[in-house]
Amino acid sequence: MSTSSWPRRRPRHSRRSLAVCPVTGKVRFRDRNTAKQALKLAAFARSRAEIDGLATRRREVRVYQCLEEACHKGFHLSSQPGYTPPGGAGMAVAA
């Protein structure tokens, strides 16, 4: 007699990784590749929205690694194409 009919009860997936950065509140990705995939999806969604004449606030263009310890070196998407010097060109800051 074997116990082959042993009921397997396992949780399908146990998520340990954070979904959102506790510091910045941004969506957190566990590695660069995952973030890049999300970036592609965002770009795709954006082009679709433009075709449909819809406004979209998705402007993510860049992947960067979070420096916050609480984020466990997660990756985020940034809407800024590159580094903007302090008080510099590009973004107008309301006084």
Rule CB under 5 A: which residues touch Zn ion? Answer: 21, 24, 66, 68, 71
89, two tokens = 């060109």
Could you give the CA distance from residue 65 to residue 92 in angstroms, rounded to a whole number? 25
CB of 21 to Zn ion, least distance (A): 3
Residues in the chain: 95
Looking at the DSSP bridge assignments, the partners of residue 77 are 63
Q: Name the residue nearer to Zn ion (CB basis): 23 or 43.
A: 23
CB of 23 to Zn ion, least distance (A): 5
CB of 52 to Zn ion, least distance (A): 32
For 90, what's the count of Cα atoms within 13 Å in the CB-facing half-sphere?
10
Q: Name the residue nearer to Zn ion (CB basis): 23 or 49.
A: 23
Any idea what DSSP says for residue 20? B
Q: Name the residue nearer to Zn ion (CB basis): 24 or 49.
A: 24
